[in-house]
Structure 1
């Protein structure tokens, strides 16, 4: 053939082939070890395992008693953590427990906060993302959602406690 150079292509250097075969065998061994060391996925019982990331809540599928418990948990977090931010206090009016769209947004924000701050697998990047993106954009959306309920400006001040409104809503949920 024209242009064909006979460089021993059919007789490739044995040391190259041997080296590649050894690398391939080592990679296959590593893959086998990784497969053996990772536990196979277990069927989900619906509850997260201790090491898994926090899961969002699905309000429409929750029994009313669980909704009441989760709403109480969410209200504590809103009061103790989220209201440390003055913009959140201004944006989230005291009637928030009556608005399921707001509860849904706050639940997502709470889940993101738990992932960033309480999950064992969290990194500083999770906290940075929560602080830089998730919290500010959620508070902004909540301010828009709550605008129709707004009657007056909510000044900066000590964290607000909406316990009375939350308690009434919890009682109503438990009676359903």
Structure 2
């Protein structure tokens, strides 16, 4: 029997329902596999799903970890971010004393790591960092740090924030 009713009776309906139920179960299984399988970029990176750099949650970090992360962030600010001329003008040397600025910089650092060091990154990640995230973050930081400009910002030679970072790290280590 093909599932069609030739005689006008209801005897074919159970076969149709059974066939549809089997197809539905197969589709549900396929959808479940798709939901748990890694994306194409994750498969090509050789890393497990979720291998992208994660943002830092400063309020939940132990003080020693804060000190280590702040040192890592300071190295990146000096070596990478300050390569852009607008950044050292916008981000004043007292930045390690401003947790809102640290939060912004660590978000930008995470975006940079995602765009440039994560194996699953694409050119779109770098373009987004360069076109949107870096300029807008530097602009926000310039506004946030404007009140400090009259009090702490030295003029003259290139600046090294290592002393301020070291003092802040030492204080965090003592907590």
TM-score (norm 1): 0.71
Aligned to 2:113: 114
Q: Does 1:71 align with 2:78?
A: no
1:3-46: per-residue Cα shift (whole Å, max 9, x none)?
xxxxxxx99xxxxxxxxx9xx79x95x9379559827xxxxxxx
1:58-99: per-residue Cα shift (whole Å, max 9, x none)?
000000000000000000000000000010010000000000
**Alignment partners' CA distance in 2, 1:100 and 1:80:** 21
SS in 1 for 2:51: coil
**Alignment partners' CA distance in 2, 1:172 and 1:37:** 44
Contact 1:112–1:130 at 8 Å: present in 2 too? yes
Q: Which runs of 5+ in 1 are unaligned?
A: 1-9, 12-20, 40-47
Aligned to 1:124: 123
1:10-49 maps to which residues of 2 (within 5 A)?
A: 28=27, 31=30, 34-35=33-34, 38=37
Aligned to 1:165: 164
TM-score (norm 2): 0.72
Q: Which runs of 5+ in 2 are unaligned?
A: 7-19, 39-46
**Alignment partners' CA distance in 2, 1:172 and 1:101:** 18
- RMSD across aligned positions (CA): 3.3
**Alignment partners' CA distance in 2, 1:63 and 1:37:** 33
